Amino acid sequence: MDTPPLSGSDSDSDDSLVTDKELQEAFSRGLLKPGLNVVLEGSKKAVNDVNGLKQCLAEFKRDLEWVERLDVTLGPVPEISGPQSTPQNKDQNKDQKGVDPEDDFQREMSFYRQAQAAVLAVLPRLHQLKVPTKRPTDYFAEMAKSDQQMQKIRQKLQAKQVAMEKSEKAKQLRALRKYGKKVQTEVLQKRQREKANMMSAIKKYQKGFSDKLDFLDGDQKPVARSTKEGAKGQQMRKGPNAKRRYKNQKFGFGGKKKGSKWNTRESHDDVSSFRAKIAHGKGLKRPGKKGSNKRPGKWTREKMKSRAR
Amino acid sequence: MKIAFTLGYPSKRSGRIYVAFELHPKGKWKNKERILIFSSRGINFRTRHLMQDLRMLMPHSKADTKMDRKDKLFVINEVCEMKNCNKCIYFEAKKKQDLYMWLSNSPHGPSAKFLVQNIHTLAELKMTGNCLKGSRPLLSFDPAFDELPHYALLKELLIQIFSTPRYHPKSQPFVDHVFTFSILDNRIWFRNFQIIEEDAALVEIGPRFVLNLIKIFQGSFGGPTLYENPHYQSPNMHRRIIRSITAAKYKEKQQVKDVQKLRKKEPKTILPHDPTADVFVTPAEEKPIEIQWVKPEPKVDLKARKKRIYKRQRKMKQKVNSGNAK
């Protein structure tokens, strides 16, 4: 980029504060560098007339007694923090510099502690000077806030407290209800299970699978029983009834699949309906009801007749 | 011997009860400080309440009517002289949004202008403390006030304004509340606490506000500037910056979009055809083209048939049922 000539005729020498000659001199001295020089506005320097301030303060200050002014300049009361190994000074510094103005609680606490420090320092002094700080009980005077205002404040505080207590109670009730519900469902389930077991045991006895009437004795040995019952119960509980299972297969789960094969590989491989005892002819021992009904054949009857004669 | 009247609880039936006794038996009121507290026109309710609260807390204060904003500020000095006041607190509201506060020592002394923020008045229900009306306050300052000369000057000004003179006729002799001035984030924070117990248990009374120093002048409401706060940003500038940030975000988005548009329109470089890319290309087998000449047979939709049958049965049933009902 070409630099414009310093002694250019197109520069408005009337308006510029610095004349061309001055610029030339500055350049020759080495203050200006080649290139386009732009006049920058310097950063505004804030007025800080320290001497003026001090003088003004000296003139303005009134030498009043401390009792008239009642002013204290103290840092905040140091925080009561947990056991720390760092020395006390560091703690104080940290307190003073670490107060984040955005952190509302910390900030308000620092103001509170500053006020506390002031009060603690001043009260003995005031008592010495016989300035009263406590109001006697029979001293009635107008307060900054009217009684009505104080009533409002008290009501609001009470309402807040009541609301908090209510919410606490509600929480507890909800927790209790959940627990109660759990307990209730457990008890109901237990009862149902016992009933089911009893019914299955009865049916077993009826069908002749077991001829012990132990289940009527009640829960004598619940631990031992439960394990035995557990094993048997598992077998019984594994599915619903045979009838139920058949019906489910026919009508349940979307109904019977029309035209579906029933001689598939899975059905061929499925040997769950194989009962070894029945297959080998050793199986069912029925109590003598039907057996006794069996009438001997004609030839055997003739034989018996003839023998009887 | 000055006898003061103090109001007991007023009862509407028998009129007001006056209890007369000597408030300040021993002392004479010597420290003649009088503060003029008033405002300009166009203040909002919060400022008005703040002003009333300050007037109530400071028994050595005087009130005045609102000042027109047309008048220049040095008129205030004349008003002060007429009211025989030597200090002044003047609230100035601009744009119905920003509140400025002037603290000044009336005839010759220094004055300071502040921007007031975060105002909470006495009447807020979270301020639960209470104090006697006109009782003398204890003033508590941050140690940072002693470090810099402008803060020292401000401290002196605040002390002279806010401390109630001893034995003032309207004051109560007890010291039961404390004003706190703290410096945080280059601002002055004001709080008012009630002293409940001797072991410094405190409750906030209110009001509260934050003062952001703008300038300190040598004269009252004028004169050469002694100090200018470099951290001060005028509320207009603040609002402008916020608006420009949001505008800049939008502008940036638009710019990005424009750049993308330009890039799309650019001629794309076409790469030359790479012969090695065709090495593994195998064309698919050609299938014979089948044309269906005959319409396919309609499928027997067993489901639809069943549905029709079922619907018919239901209708018949309904007829029978309705027949029975009749």
- Do A117 and A59 share a structural domain? yes
Question: At B320, which amino acid appears?
Answer: V
> Does residue A177 share a domain with residue A130?
no
- Looking at chain A from residue 101 to 160, which residues have their Cβ under 8 Å from any Cβ of chain B? 101, 107, 110-112, 114-120, 122-123, 126, 131-135, 140-145, 149-150, 152-153, 156-157
φ, ψ dihedrals at B92, nearest 5°: -120, 125
Question: Is pLDDT above 80 for A153?
Answer: yes
Closest-CA distance of chain B to residue A144, Å? 4
pLDDT band at A270 (very low <50, low <70, confident <90, very high): confident
- Judgement on whether residues A206 and A177 belong to the same structural domain of the protein: yes
Q: Is residue A95 part of a domain?
A: no
Nearest Cα to Cα of residue B85 among B102, B71, B65, B105: B105
Position A55 in a domain: yes
| Predicted confidence (pLDDT) per residue in B188-234, tens digit | 999 999 998 888 889 999 899 999 999 999 999 889 999 999 999 99
Q: Are residues A69 and A128 in the same domain?
A: yes
Query: For the ranges A258-262, A272-276, B159-163, B215-219, which has the lowest average pLDDT?
Result: A258-262
Mean pLDDT across chain B: 88
Can you list the positions of beta strands (E) in B35-96?
35-39, 61-63, 87-94
- Does residue A111 form part of some domain? yes
Report whether B120 contacts A71 (CB < 8 A).
Answer: no
Q: Per the domain annotation, does A236 fall within a domain?
A: no
Q: Which residue has the higher pLDDT, B179 or A26?
A: B179
- pLDDT confidence band for B1 (50 / 70 / 90): very low
A127 and A203 together in one domain: no
- Chain A nearest-CA distance from B165, in A, is 6
Boundary-marking domain end, from A215, A241, A260: A215
Report if residue A127 sits inside a domain. yes
- pLDDT higher than threshold 80 for residue A80: no
Q: Above 50 in pLDDT, residue B3?
A: no
Tell me phi and psi for residue A230, to 5 degrees: -60, -45
Residues A128 and A194 in one domain: no
Cross-chain Cβ contact A133/B176 below 8 Å: yes
Position B159: which residue type?
A: I
B93 neighbors B47 (Cβ within 8 angstroms): yes
Give the count of domains, chain A: 2
Alpha helices in B94-147 (DSSP H): none
Q: A63 lies in a domain?
A: yes
CB-CB under 8 Å, A73 with B132: no
Q: How far is CA B46 from CA A16, A308, B244, in A?
A: 51, 129, 29
Task: Map tokens 């008045």 to a residue.
Answer: B121
Mean pLDDT of A275-291: 74
Write down the pLDDT at residue B23. Answer: 59
What's the pLDDT band for A287 if we cut at 50, 70, 90? low
User: Considering chain B, what percentage of its residues have pLDDT values greater than 70?
Assistant: 92
pLDDT tier at B299 (50, 70, 90 boundaries)?
confident
A161 and A208 together in one domain:
yes
Please state which of the ranges A21-25, A275-279, A290-294, B170-174 shows the lowest mean pLDDT.
A290-294
Which of these three, A196, A215, A234, is where a domain ends? Answer: A215
Surface-to-core class of residue B243, CB atoms within 10 Å of its CB (0-12 exposed, 13-18 middle, 19+ buried) = exposed
The amino acid at residue A253 is: F
Which of B191, B159, B198, B120 minimizes the C-alpha distance to A112?
B191
Measured CA to CA, the distance from residue A23 to residue A31 in angstroms comes to: 9
- Contact assessment for residue A75 and residue A114, using Cβ atoms and an 8 Å cutoff: yes
Q: According to the model, what pLDDT value does residue B19 have?
A: 47
Q: Let me know if B33 is exposed, middle or buried by CB neighbors in 10 A (0-12, 13-18, 19+).
A: buried
Residue A184 counted as domain residue:
yes
Q: State the residue range of the domain holding A62.
A: 50-76+101-134
Which segment of A150-164, A222-236, B86-100 scores lowest on mean pLDDT? A222-236
Residue A259 pLDDT exceeds 80: no
Query: Does A206 lie in the same domain as A159?
Result: yes
Separation between Cα atoms, residue A155 and residue A193, nearest integer Å: 56
Please give the helix or strand (H or E) that residue B28 lies within, else none: none
Q: Phi, psi (5° rounding) for residue B314?
A: -60, -40
Query: Quick one: what percent of chain A has pLDDT higher than 90?
Result: 24
Residue A239 within a domain = no
Check A118 against B123: CB less than 8 A apart: no
Domain co-membership, A125 together with A167: no
- The domain boundary residue, chosen from A183, A199, A215: A215
Side chain identity, residue B258: D
Q: Tell me whether residues A107 and B184 touch, CB distance under 8 A.
A: yes
**Residues A126 and A62 grouped into a single domain:** yes
**pLDDT 10s digits, B41-81:** 989 999 999 999 999 999 999 999 998 878 888 899 999 99
